[in-house]
Structures are given as C-alpha cells and as structure tokens.
Amino acid sequence: MRGIGSGEDEGSAVSGRLGQALSNLPRSVRARILAWVLLLAAVGMAGAAGTAYVLERQRIDVRIEQALQQEVSEFAEFRRSAVDPRDGGQFTTLERMFEIALRRNVADHHQTLAAYLPTKTLSPVGGTLALHSDPAFRELVTGSRQATSGSYRPPDAGEIRYSTVPVQLGDARGTFVVVYFTAPERSELTEVFQIYSVVAVAALAVIALAGWLAAGRLLRPIRDVRQTAQQISQTDLVRRIVVHGNDDVSSLARTFNAMLDRLEEAFATQRRFLDEAGHELRTPITIVRGHLELMNPRDAEETEEVRELLLDELDRMSRSVEDLIVLAKAERPDFLRTDVVDIGRLTDVVLDKARALGDRSWRIDQRADAWVVADGQRLTQALVQLAENAVKFTRPSDQVTIGSSADGDTVRLWVRDSGPGIAPEDTERIFERFQRGHSVIRADGSGLGLAIVRAIVEAHGGSVEVESGPGRGANFVLRIPRVAVPAWTAPTEEVAL
Ligand code: ADP
C-alpha cells in the first residue's frame, strides 16, 4: 500500500513540476500567435491528409472487390460456353476443365487464381504459391458449397482478399478461387502518405518561420508602446510613439499618444495649480511673519492691533484654502451630486440667501418654470458667489438682479448688478484662478471665486460669460444644457438647495 501511495505522490510531484515549468515558459503574444497558427495549420493538414487517406483506401477496396468479381464472372462465362479444345466436346473431368480455365485466364497484377480439388491444388504455370499449400486456407475456401468471399492473413504474408466458386461436374467437386494480394497496393498508399508527412513537417517549419517574422512585424507597434510606457515617468511625458500605417495596432499607438497628450496637459495644469496656490499662500504667511517679528509683546495696545490683523489674515488664508479644495474636487468625477432641480425655486432660494450678504436693492427679473437634472447645491453655490461679488463691487443704493430662463435645450441663470462693470480686456481673464480685474472699486479677494463658478458650470457641461463694459454694470450668465428629466422621477419632491 505504502509503495503504491509513494509512487502516486512521486507521479503527482513530477506532473506538478512539469506544470510549473510549462507555466513559467515565456508567453509572449508573438509566441502564442505562432502556436495558434501552427496548431491550426497542423490540424488542417492532418485533417485533409486523413480524409484523403480514408477515401483512397475505400477506393482501393472497391477496386479489389470489382477485380475479384470480374474474375469470378469471367470464370462463370468460361464454364457456360467453353469446350474441351482437344475434341471440341464437353469437359469430362473437373481437373481438365480447371486446367484449361487456369491456362486461358491470365491473372491481373497482384492477383492469383487456383482450383482446389479434393486431392490436389491447381495453379497457373509459375503461379505456385505457399498459400495453396496452406491447409487453413484450403479449409476456408473449400468448406462451403456456396460461393463465398472474405479476407485471410497467411502466416508469412500480408492480408489477401478472395472469392470462391464451388463447381460440380458429375460426382466430382472442386472450388475455383480468385485471390487478391491487398498488402502491396495498401503499402503504396502508406508510402505516399509517409512522403506527405515529411513534406507537411517541412511546410510547418516554413510556416513557423514566416509566422514568427510576420507576427513580430505586426506586433512591433505594441512593443514600441510598451517600451515607451516603460521609459515614461511622471516628470517626462514628452515621449511619443512613432506611428506607421493605418491598422488596429497603429490606432492603438495613436490612442496611447492621445492619452499621453491628456496626461501631459493634466500634469502641467496640476503643477501650475500648485505653483499658483503656493505663491498665493506665501503672501499671507510673509505678512503674518513680518508682523510677529516687528511686534513689541510688551505693548498691550500694539499686540491687540496685530492680533486683530493676523486673525483677519488667517481668515483670508483659510478661505483661500477652502476655495482651493473646492477647485481640486472639481476635477473628480464625484464632484456633482445630481438630482432633479426646480430652477424657479432655486432662483428664489438664491435671492433669499443673497439678501443676507448686504443691503442692496435685490430683485428677481425672470423666473424659469423648468426642471433639470443638475447639482442644485453647487448651482446655488455658484450663484451666491456671483451675488457676493456683486455686493463687493456695488454700493448700498445699487441694484442686483437675479434671474433664470429656459428654452429648448438650455437653462440660463444670471446675476446682474449696476456696479462699475468690467473692462473688455478682463472679461476672459477674471475666470482664471488667482486673476483679479482692474476694477475702480478695490475689493479684497483671493481671485478664486469666478474660477469656482466656472468649474461648477463646466462640470455640468455648460459655460459662463460676463456681459459688461466700464460703467455699464456686470451681467454674469451661466448656461447649462438641459438634461431631460427621467419619466420615473416625481418632480414634486423637495430638493435641498
Ligand atoms: P476676487 O476674490 O478677486 O473677487 P473673483 O474670481 O471672484 O476673485 O473675481 C475676479 C475679478 O473679477 C475680481 O477681482 C474683479 O475684478 C472682477 N469681478 C468679479 N465680479 C465682479 C463684478 N460683479 N463687478 C465688477 N468686477 C467684478
């Protein structure tokens, strides 16, 4: 028992090691393509050869059968019509009839004829064979009174096919036998297929070589992609793959290059963002440090003053940091939490919130009656930011108007003020991060407010612009594509804004 068990263990260990070795073999796509090509070619060749072999063998068998039948029919014809050439009369003995039959009948290639009498066997001149003295074969062919046919394998030769014709003349009985040696014909076929096998192996070797070269050529762009990807680091995104041709693989290389373009742009934006943020935060830190260095801690009044100033500066810093966090989040896919938003109600909510920002003449000049799929809280944040700016750049007597409208596929939301307006050269620039305009009213700010507004609108797939001119006030307009409200949503639901 133990012996068997350990044998099995050894066997499974060997097959495990073999499996491991096979799985460790390098499996490049090139090698796999080649393996498949060779497998398919080998299966195709073997299938074609196998079918041809089977068909050809069947054809040989049919031909042998026909040849045997022909000899049998010729003998039957001879029996019916032939006369003894000695006297022109009927044959008197069976032996005489067989002799004449064997003399007249010349056996075809691979055939032999014989006549079996109870005491002896007759065969054509020069045709005496060991087969005729084989008692087993004699037994087989003379055993039946019916005409038979079948196959027999003599001890010293290949397989034969035979047909027998039992004959009776008076009391004498005998058997006329036609024999066909099948082995020579079949071995011819086997030889042909042996030559075919050698040619097929040579053809597979040629296919392997050609396939290896072709696969290598086709996969070269993929190798280039891999090598370029290996060489690329976060700091070096300038490399690109040289694209040749216009096939699937070269389109993969083109897609990879386009992805690198986007990555390079994203990294550049990120670096700019960090530079700007660092620069912007350095100023308040310098101010705080300067004041603390110069402050006389023993002077209570000065200390109080500096404390007030520094707290104010820290507030400003923390506002900037919060704004930067919002801008960083705007790059993320979960920045918006969309829901069905009632734009008319959103306009009212913004007005309510804006009133608390300052004493202005607040009003709504138009109110859309529309439902859209959007992030209501982010839209409110953007409009309140615009209202905050409007308050910063206007005086208490000035008017600030909030409004919304909707047409076929766009929703418009705006905040208009009657302040100093914006110079034409600033209307684009002010939406950039940390950019401030040249307003006649100097207002304190981080320069991030409009950048946040633009980030929110662009996350909705929309755009923001300002219609303004010096002394004409400013009208900030948000345009949001109107995403269809799904039919299953009940638009009566209250959404927190
Ligand atoms: P800030 O914190 O400087 O206000 P914003 O990004 O909110 O930063 O605004 C950028 C610039 O746009 C402001 O410095 C100002 O010059 C201009 N601006 C914004 N809103 C108005 C407005 N309602 N009227 C006039 N100028 C404005």
473 lines ligand 1 (CB under 6 A): no
pLDDT at position 7, please? 52
The pLDDT tens digits for 45-72 are: 999 999 999 999 999 999 999 999 999 9
For every residue of 159-210, DSSP letters joined together read -EEEEEEEEEETTEEEEEEEEEEHHHHHHHHHHHHHHHHHHHHHHHHHHHHH
pLDDT at position 217 is 85
Q: What is each CA distance from 80 to 46, 176, 289, 486, in whole angstroms?
A: 51, 14, 137, 100
Instruction: Give yes or no: residues 287 and 342 share one domain.
Output: no
Q: Are residues 442 and 352 in the same domain?
A: yes
State the Rg of the chain over Cα: 52
Interval between CA 482 and ligand 1 midpoint (Å): 28
Give me the DSSP letters along 386-407. Answer: HHHHHHHTS-TT-EEEEEEEE-
The CA-CA-CA angle for residues 452, 416, 458, to 5°, reads 30
Is 255 in the same domain as 170?
Answer: no
Q: Which atom of ligand 1 lies closest to the CA of 439?
A: 16
Which is the closest atom of ligand 1 to the Cα of 447?
8
Question: Is residue 163 one of the residues assigned to a domain?
Answer: yes
3-state secondary structure of 155: coil
Q: Which of 422, 456, 467 to mutate to test the pocket of ligand 1 (most atoms within 8 A of CB)?
A: 422
Our answer on whether the CB atom of 123 is closer than 6 Å to any ligand 1 atom is: no
Owner of token pair 């691979």: 110
For ligand 1, the distance from its centroid to the CA atom of residue 437, given in whole angstroms, is 6
Is residue 48 assigned to a domain?
A: yes
- Indicate the residue type of 265: E
Cβ(376)–Cβ(495) below 8 Å: yes
Q: Is 415 in the pocket of ligand 1 (CB under 6 A)?
A: no
Is 215 within the bounds of a domain? yes
Nearest to 97 by CA among 75, 113, 112, 119: 75
**Residues 36 and 128 reside in one and the same domain:** yes
Please, which residues have CB within 8 angstroms of residue 401's CB and are 6 or more apart in sequence? 362, 363, 364, 365, 414, 415, 416, 417
Backbone angles phi, psi at 105, to 5 degrees: -90, 110
Higher pLDDT, 26 or 463: 463
Question: 418: Cβ below 6 Å to ligand 1?
Answer: no
In a domain, 301, yes or no: yes
Question: Do the beta carbons of residue 473 and residue 393 sit within 8 Å?
Answer: no
pLDDT value at 414 more than 90: yes
Question: Which residue is closest in CA terms to ligand 1's atom 16?
Answer: 437
Minimal-distance CA residue to ligand 1 atom 20: 389
**Own/partner pairs, 221-230, CB within 8 angstroms, 24+ separation:** 221/245, 221/249, 221/250, 221/252, 221/253, 222/29, 222/249, 222/252, 224/253, 225/252, 225/253, 225/256, 228/256, 229/256
Rounded distance from Cα 435 to ligand 1 centre (Å): 8
| Token pair belonging to 323 | 């704004």
Alpha carbon of 281 to ligand 1 centroid (Å): 19
pTM score above 0.75: no
The domain total for the chain is 3
Residues whose CB falls within 8 Å of the CB of residue 370, separated by 6 or more in sequence, listed in order: 342, 343, 344, 404, 406, 411, 482
> Residue of the nearest CA to atom 15 in ligand 1?
437
The 3-class secondary structure across 22-76, one letter per residue, is HHHCCCCHHHHHHHHHHHHHHHHHHHHHHHHHHHHHHHHHHHHHHHHHHHHHHHH
Whether 51 is in a domain gets the answer yes
Confidence bin at 484 (pLDDT 50/70/90):
low
- pLDDT, tens only, 229-278: 787 765 577 888 878 778 777 788 888 889 989 988 888 888 888 888 88
Is residue 396 located within the same domain as residue 303? Answer: no
Asked, for residue 226, whether it belongs to a domain, the answer is yes
Q: At what angle do helices 376-392 and 343-355 cross, to 10 degrees?
A: 40
| Final residue of a structural domain among 178, 205, 231 | 231
Is there a single domain that holds both residue 317 and residue 391?
no
Are 474 and 390 within 8 A, CB to CB? Answer: yes
Q: Which residue range forms the structural domain that includes residue 45?
A: 28-231
pLDDT digits (tens, 9 = 90+) for 100-125: 998 888 777 888 899 999 888 888 76
> Are 261 and 210 in a shared domain?
no
CATH number of the domain that residue 94 is part of: 3.30.450
Do 97 and 222 share a structural domain?
yes
Q: Using a 6 Å cutoff on CB, does residue 457 contact ligand 1? A: no
CB–CB of 179/157 below 8 Å?
Answer: no
Contact 183, 170 (CB under 8 A): no
What's the 386 CA to ligand 1 centre distance in angstroms? 9
CA atoms of 114 and 232, how far apart (whole Å): 89
Please tell me the predicted confidence (pLDDT) of residue 26. 56
Separation CA 116–CA 176 (nearest Å): 6
CA distance 209 to 213: 6
> 308, 329, 350 — which closes off a domain?
329
174 located within any domain: yes
Closest ligand 1 atom to residue 445 Cα is 2
Atom 11 of ligand 1, residue of closest alpha carbon: 436
How far is it, in rounded angstroms, from Cα 38 to Cα 42? 6
Same-domain status, 291 and 389: no
- The residue among 440, 450, 445 whose CA lies nearest residue 476 is 450
Angle between helices 248-294 and 220-231 (to 10 degrees): 10
Last residue of a domain, one of 231, 266, 285: 231
Confidence label for 1 from pLDDT (cuts 50, 70 and 90)? very low
When mean pLDDT is compared across 202-211, 265-274, 405-414, 416-425, the lowest value belongs to 265-274
Q: Whose CA is nearest to atom 25 of ligand 1?
A: 421
Q: Are 111 and 47 found together in one domain? A: yes
Q: Are residues 58 and 200 in the same domain?
A: yes
Distance CA 491, CA 337 (A): 17
How many angstroms is it from 93 CA to the middle of ligand 1? 136
| Residue 479 confidence class, pLDDT cut points 50, 70, 90 | very high
CATH code: domain of residue 362: 3.30.565.10
Closest Cα to atom 2, ligand 1: which residue? 445
Task: Express as a percent the part of the chain with pLDDT over 70.
Answer: 90
Mean pLDDT over 83-99 rounds to: 88
Count the helices and strands in the chain (H runs, E runs): 11, 12
Cβ 450 under 6 angstroms from ligand 1? yes
Q: Do 182 and 270 fall into the same domain? A: no
Report if residue 466 sits inside a domain. Answer: yes
